Amino acid sequence: MQRKEAEKLEYKKQYSIKTDEAELIEVEAFIKDYRHFIDHAKTERLSTVYAEGEAIAKGFKPYTPGEPLKAGDKVCYVNREKSILLAVIGKKDLSEGCRIVASHIDNPRLDLKPQPLYENSGISYFKTHYYGGIKKYQWTAVPLELHGVVYRADGTRIDINIGSDPEDPVFYISDLMPHIGKDQMSKSASEFISGEGLNIINGSLPIDEDGGVKLRVLSILNEKYGITERDLITAELTAVPAIMSREVGFDRSMIAAFGHDDRICAYPALRALIDGDIPEHTSVVMLADKEEIGSYGVTGLGSESYSDFIESLCASVGADFLSCKRNSICLSADVGGAYDPCYADAYEATNSAYINRGVVICKYTGSRGKGGCSDASAETLAKLARIFDNAGVVWQVGEYGKVDQGGAGTVASEIAHYGIEVIDCGVPILSMHSVTELASKFDIYEMLKACEAFFKS
């Protein structure tokens, strides 16, 4: 065999970049919609409401478990305001399995502690307990939004969303000036800012000449929302960066935003489902909570609430649940870490995903010898690759960094626990879990194409 022929045997990564004028317009339109979503749905509660609204607008009906369903029916089911499950009943019997895309809509952030309010030296603060894997030092000196719910003692509810409107005030964690930072700068990055050091400034004016900054904050909260300090104890409030998504680069080819992980997969999954035609196999989208802390809790994918939904759909169409699970396949749609040449030491270049090279299929995640992962089989990987190839979806494979460098988990293990075949696939991103993460517009669009192709398979 001559060199020229042998070269044809080599695998070469493709670009996800589009050049066709009409397709570029489609990409930009989708990115605009996506940016609206991530800028207005920075928590799992807000994402759930947003997704439900989009689905209802496209003809989805709230699902009552057990109600009879037929091909073409579109239903959505909200799980305790923090996750949402959606389905379009396909033409084939549900015993033949469904196509599930499972993503998560929670992200690393700062939760307020149950008793958050205190004052020190004329400044009023919230104590926080961080949620998920963050580099704590990134959270100082950036504007913060506050989102969540507070229940008054009488049971009435207040929704709090402050900071996303440009006219709103924001919140802030101070950092030490470098001029007197000798001791701080000598610490390692993990100790640079401690967990107990992430205290959010929320006011500075005393209630009268005798002081009382906390009292003044309490009086404002009471006048505005009718709540007391006791009501904060039972509340659920969380702080996220008050930073809106932006185009990045002279070529405007990338989007920087808070919380790409994992809305960047959740939104394409949602849109592919709600904009799609009646599929052959029933299509399901699971937008889950609590992935960032291990998928625990009743709204995390480790909860049977999710498999119950599939079981209930089976009852609604008279299909056998065990056969359905056995014949189903799930895309665990979560972000992959893109190769970062500035931190090349952490990666293995050949088996890394790259931006602008399409969606990344991850055969396994885990850490230190694939620990804790769901290692997808050759059969599943080959099947997915064929689905993508036949639909012209640009894909690549990628691991989470070099062996023994660390690792990651997704919801794949939880899906596998239900007895459903599962494989990880998502958008490669840079600066994962940072206050702003970076992704290619074309890869985001490719994720939409990937979900569409998967639902049509």
Query: Nearer to Mn ion by C-beta: 119 or 437?
Result: 437
Q: Please choose, from the candidates 183, 98, 192, the residue with its C-alpha nearest in 3D space to the C-alpha of residue 140.
A: 192
Interface stretch with Mn ion, choices 51-59, 220-228, 255-263, 373-381 (CB under 5 A):
255-263
Q: Please choose, from the candidates 42, 17, 16, 104, the residue with its C-alpha nearest in 3D space to the C-alpha of residue 245.
A: 42
CB of 451 to Mn ion, least distance (A): 16
CB of 4 to Mn ion, least distance (A): 42
446 is a contact residue toward Mn ion (CB under 5 A): no
Query: Nearer to Mn ion by C-beta: 54 or 106?
Result: 106
Query: Nearer to Mn ion by C-beta: 334 or 443?
Result: 334
Q: Which two tokens stand for residue 97?
A: 């399995």
Helix (H, G, I), strand (E, B) or coil at 109: strand
Interface stretch with Mn ion, choices 19-27, 179-187, 222-230, 333-341 (CB under 5 A):
333-341
CB of 335 to Mn ion, least distance (A): 5
Interface stretch with Mn ion, choices 167-175, 222-230, 262-270, 305-313 (CB under 5 A):
262-270
CB of 361 to Mn ion, least distance (A): 15
437 is a contact residue toward Mn ion (CB under 5 A): no
261 is a contact residue toward Mn ion (CB under 5 A): yes
334 is a contact residue toward Mn ion (CB under 5 A): yes
Q: Which two tokens stand for residue 278?
A: 């009646």
**DSSP 8-state assignment for residue 66:** T
Beta-carbon count within 10 A of 239 CB: 30
Residue written as token pair 């569409």 = 452
414 is a contact residue toward Mn ion (CB under 5 A): no
Query: Nearer to Mn ion by C-beta: 303 or 365?
Result: 365
CB of 426 to Mn ion, least distance (A): 8
CB of 432 to Mn ion, least distance (A): 6
361: β partners: 397, 425
Residue written as token pair 């305790």 = 80
Interface size with Mn ion, residues (CB under 5 A):
3
Query: Nearer to Mn ion by C-beta: 35 or 260?
Result: 260
**DSSP 8-state assignment for residue 179:** G
Interface stretch with Mn ion, choices 65-73, 185-193, 250-258, 260-268 (CB under 5 A):
260-268
Under rule CB under 5 A, which residues in 151-210 are in contact with Mn ion?
none
> Taking the alpha carbons of 267, 418, 374, 381 in that order, is the dihedral positive or negative?
negative
Interface stretch with Mn ion, choices 79-87, 215-223, 253-261, 360-368 (CB under 5 A):
253-261
Buried b (16+ CB within 10 A) or exposed e, 96-118: bbbbbbbbbbbbbbbbbbeebbe
- Contact between residue 335 and residue 342 where contact means Cβ atoms under 8 Å apart: no
Q: Report the half-sphere exposure of 361 (CA within 13 A, side-chain side).
A: 28
CB of 126 to Mn ion, least distance (A): 24
- Contact between residue 316 and residue 410 where contact means Cβ atoms under 8 Å apart: no
Distance from the Cα of residue 441 to its chain's centroid: 17
Interface stretch with Mn ion, choices 62-70, 89-97, 328-336, 443-451 (CB under 5 A):
328-336
CB of 104 to Mn ion, least distance (A): 6
Q: Please choose, from the candidates 126, 82, 41, the residue with its C-alpha nearest in 3D space to the C-alpha of residue 288.
A: 82
Using CB under 5 A, pick the residue from 262, 399, 414, 443 that binds Mn ion.
262
CA angle 92, 96, 99 (to 5 degrees): 85
- Summarize as ranges the residues that interact with Mn ion (CB under 5 A): 261-262, 334
